Amino acid sequence: MKLPAALQSRLLPDQSLARFTAARLGGNADWLFIAKELDDLVDVVSAAWNEGLPVRVLGGGANVLVSDKGVRGLVVINNVSTIEFGNWHDDDGCKRNVSATSGVGLTVLARKCAAHGLSGMEWAVSVPGTIGGAVVNNAGAHGGDMATSICDIVVLDAQKGPQILSKTELEYGYRTSTLKARTDRRFLVLMATLALHPAPNAEIEARMNEFIAYRKKTQPPGASLGSIFKNPPGDFAGRLIESCGLKGHTIGAVQVSPLHANWFINSGAASASDYAALVRYVQARVLEHTGVALETEIELIGDWD
């Protein structure tokens, strides 16, 4: 692959993606680039599109299961992290006061907003990953989500170039968006603007501490992808899995967490095939015993048979 001269030496061939995913597993990318500046991110992704190479942008790798066979083409790890605070009111009524590039970590964003006395991102304080992934997936927790605070985002589209997409155009639902529904993946989220509410810092901190304590109590430590399945309407995926007696069920080195049945833990030596096999097994058992077809929240990427 050919990049502008200044970037070429940072393009790494045949690199393991395991260290860039929260589950700590998966094969190699044909090419890997770690972007720290917005210009580099845009230049590298555009160059790959121009060459007709498949491109996958990853933030924290917290919602993706990478195949053992790896990912063809270019994988870009997005570490572009800048946050600005201001007052950019527009005539659409959205009171924009935070602007963040897509590589900003959710935890960092939650903390910085708290320090600025802005409430609305507390839910993200212990959610791994970046704004980019959260915008695509409409990440959320504790009753909040990205959709609640987003005014609009800036996207680079392979066909249409730079675009501003409003919240309405993103058609957010529970862990869904128009971006997530796109199978071509030929877009790059560059930044998001948010409208948060002023609130006393102590109040925001107290809410974040409450969420952190709740997660410590209810969610297991170790390498995982968080919730594997979406909650079906009116129920919880974890409750259904537990009701089938699957807590602790293990395939290879991946276990259905005995603490939270919707979390699958890599004990250290797991393969992505083991992980995917456990996903399929649990899906089949839950369907058989409860009649509910669980839908995955995580995304399988790379070469799968």
Ligand X SMILES: Cc1cc2nc3c(=O)[nH]c(=O)nc-3n(C[C@H](O)[C@H](O)[C@H](O)COP(=O)(O)OP(=O)(O)OC[C@H]3O[C@@H](n4cnc5c(N)ncnc54)[C@H](O)[C@@H]3O)c2cc1C
- In one-letter notation, the amino acid at residue 208 is M
Helix (H) or strand (E) holding 76: strand 71-78
Give the β-pairing of 299-301 and 264-266: unpaired
Q: Catalogue the active-site residues.
A: 175, 227, 297
At residue 68's C-alpha, the angle toward residues 126 and 247, to 5°, is 55
Stretch that binds ligand X, among 10-18, 121-129, 161-169, 237-245 (CB under 6 A): 121-129
User: Minimum distance from CB of 145 to ligand X (Å)?
Assistant: 7
User: Minimum distance from CB of 42 to ligand X (Å)?
Assistant: 11
- Rounded to an integer, what distance in angstroms lies between the CA atom of residue 281 and that of residue 117? 46
* Binding test (CB under 6 A) with ligand X, winner from 15, 63, 97, 296: 63
Q: Which residue has the tokens 């900003």?
A: 104
* Binding test (CB under 6 A) with ligand X, winner from 134, 170, 237, 278: 134
Q: Per rule CB under 6 A, is residue 150 in the interface with ligand X?
A: no
Hey, what are 121's tokens? Answer: 């991102």
Q: Per rule CB under 6 A, is residue 120 in the interface with ligand X?
A: no
Q: Per rule CB under 6 A, is residue 58 in the interface with ligand X?
A: yes
Main-chain dihedrals φ then ψ at residue 38, nearest 5 degrees:
-60, -40
User: Minimum distance from CB of 168 to ligand X (Å)?
Assistant: 19
Residue closer to ligand X (CB basis): 82 or 201: 82
Q: Per rule CB under 6 A, is residue 61 in the interface with ligand X?
A: yes
Query: Quick one: DSSP state of residue 253?
Result: T
> Which residue, among 26, 115, 38, has the nearest Cα to 71 in the 3D structure?
26
Instruction: Write out the binding residues for ligand X, residues 155-184 only, by CB under 6 A.
Output: none
Can you give the binding site for ligand X, defined by CB under 6 A? 22, 56-64, 78, 102, 127-130, 132-134, 136-137, 139-141, 187-189, 224-226, 299
